[in-house]
């Protein structure tokens, strides 16, 4: 089976992801505990309440929440009502 090689990232995209990695490292150091109020787990992921598909930015610090892997999966898989109520998920029409 012939495989097509992956296209290299543009310089602009590479700069965005370099900045994102630095932001994630800093935020995880500053916010060591999951931000879900009842959770005592260590934060392992940075979650964007307003996703890129909904008009959010991965470099906007105000659009970043530190969460544990369990809650990050739960937020994305189930979209529970509490995630919207507590600001862990936002609709594009809710504004930024």
User: What does the pLDDT profile of the chain (96 residues) look like in tens digits?
Assistant: 788 888 888 999 999 999 999 999 999 999 999 999 999 999 999 999 998 888 899 999 999 999 999 999 999 999 899 999 999 999 878 755
In sequence order, which residues have a C-beta less than 8 Å from that of residue 70 and are 6 or more positions away? Answer: 39, 41
Q: Residues for the chain: how many in total?
A: 96
Which residue(s) pair with 66 in the sheet?
46
Radius of gyration of the chain (CA): 15
């Amino acid at each position: 089976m012939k495989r097509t090689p992956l296209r290299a990232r543009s310089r602009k995209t590479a700069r965005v992801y370099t900045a994102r990695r630095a932001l994630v490292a800093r935020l995880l150091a500053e916010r060591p505990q999951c931000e879900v109020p009842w959770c005592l787990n260590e934060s392992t992921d940075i979650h964007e309440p307003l996703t890129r598909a909904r008009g959010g930015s991965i470099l906007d610090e105000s659009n970043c929440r530190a969460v544990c892997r369990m809650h990050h999966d739960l937020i994305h898989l189930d979209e529970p009502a509490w995630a919207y109520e507590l600001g862990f998920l936002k609709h594009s029409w809710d504004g930024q």
